[in-house]
Amino acid sequence: MASFKELIQAEKPVLIDFHATWCQPCKVVSPIVKQVKEKMGDRVSVLKIDVDRNQSLAQSLSIQGVPTLMIYRKGDLKWRQSGVVSAEALIQQLEYFGA
């Protein structure tokens, strides 16, 4: 949890993909997140967090379903959505929050 708090303190936006290996929609989101990282490069950090391996973190953030995507900047949650999101929508959100 401490390292999570450190990671989300970044100046640039941090996109977090909460997922699970058994989750079919997560398998759809994974290449989308990869595509966003390739397009945005160093302007954004991307973290993939397996909710089954990080249950206490998922509970503390009230992750009810996967995939759940979040954008943090300077430690503040700026955006959150569950379900499949297009690469264009993610890029638009990341740019809005300073990427």
Q: Report, as residue numbers or ranges, the catalytic residues.
A: 23, 26
Q: 79 by DSSP, 3-state: which? A: strand
Which of 48, 98, 91, 54 lies closest to 76, judged by CA? 98
- Quote the CA–CA distance of 72 and 15 in Å, as a whole number: 7
